[in-house]
Amino acid sequence: MPFYIRVPSLITPVHCITITEEPESRPGLIDPKTIWTPAIAPSGLVFYTGNRFPNWQGNLFAGGLVSRDIRRLSVDKSGEIINQEAIPIGQRVRDVRQSPDGFLYLLTDEGNGQLIRLEPPSNL
């Protein structure tokens, strides 16, 4: 038999944000490092530490459900985003992961979802 405890709500609305409004900084809150407008519907996030893509070491990768791409974010030593690149995939990217061998894998969620391995060009 499940056991439930009723507790008072601990969430108090501070401010509602509409689609056309940029969020404001608020005391006690941490501002986002980036905002995507229009929204990409981010899904999955990985910090790349592998050796298959040496130029991407230390970059963040986020899948895009709506944008149908992955976003590569270059981050400096202080954690600030210094560059972003959209890499088109043409499918809704549900997740992004790094394998132990250093490749990046993408999982899509189309009708015939795919597991895609990103590989560096052979001419590198």
- 39-81 pLDDT, tens per residue? 999 999 999 999 999 999 999 999 999 999 999 999 998 888 9
Which among 44, 74, 42 has a CA at the least distance from the CA of 56?
Answer: 74
Beta-sheet strands, E only, within 27-114: 42-47, 60-64, 69-75, 81-88, 93-98, 104-108
73 occurs within a structural domain: yes
20 occurs within a structural domain: no
Domains in the chain, number: 1
β-partners of residue 98 are: 104
47 occurs within a structural domain: yes
Per-residue exposure over 12-41, b if at least 16 CB sit within 10 Å of its own CB, e if not? eeeeeeeeeeeeeeeeeeeeeeeebeeebe
pTM of the model: 0.76
Which residue range forms the structural domain that includes residue 92? 42-118
Contact 81, 33 (CB under 8 A): yes
23 occurs within a structural domain: no
State the pLDDT confidence band at 2, using cuts at 50, 70 and 90.
Answer: very low
Query: Among the listed ranges 1-10, 24-33, 76-85, 92-101, which one has the minimum average pLDDT value?
Result: 1-10
DSSP state of 56: G
Contact 73, 81 (CB under 8 A): yes
9 occurs within a structural domain: no
25 occurs within a structural domain: no
pLDDT of residue 19: 54
